[in-house]
Amino acid sequence: MSDQERIALFIDGANLYATAKSLGFDIDYKRLLREFQSRGRLVRAFYYTALVEDQEYSSIRPLIDWLDYNGFSVITKPAKEFVDSLGRRSSHSSGCGRYFFHDLVGYVKVGMDFLNVVVLVHDFHELQHLLGGLFFKANRIL
């Protein structure tokens, strides 16, 4: 990438977290931002995630606050928490991907005149049909 490239970064936080956890490492988000800033003009860095409703403390809240303070555009979706018959807690969020897709399509329609690199961190099988249209607009999709 050159200094002239205009970059937008779209991160599905849940997928990135699950992948990093399964591989046994942590993500250095400050370094991630610096890396893309060094490769061109980082126009926007989006981070999408779900938050459990009505929870006094969420383990992801400090990360979300840090990301928001340090230059990411954080988009959250409410999630509902359920307790099963064994007392185990789990959460479910429907539609977080909708925000991701909506913003991505919005940038394709309006922003591709000033963007030429789109970086997607998402489960790509969900994006398969959308990517076909993006290739006609963007110079590169990573």
Q: What is the pLDDT of residues 73-126, one digit of tens each?
A: 998 887 766 677 777 666 555 556 666 777 777 766 665 667 777 788 876 665
Return the beta strands (E) in 71-128 as ranges.
Answer: 73-83, 89-92, 117-121
The mean pLDDT value of the chain amounts to: 77
At a CB cut-off of 8 Å and minimum separation 6, what does 107 contact?
8, 44, 115, 118
Percent of the chain with pLDDT over 70: 63
Handedness of CA 78, 68, 75, 96 (dihedral sign): negative
Token reading at 85 = 């018959």
Tokens read off for 39: 């490769």
Three-class DSSP category at 105: helix
The predicted pLDDT at position 45 comes to 93
Q: How far apart are the first and last CA of the chain?
A: 11
Long-range CB contact pairs, 108-114, < 8 A, 24+? 108/133, 108/134, 108/137, 108/138, 111/8, 111/43, 112/137, 112/138, 114/6, 114/43
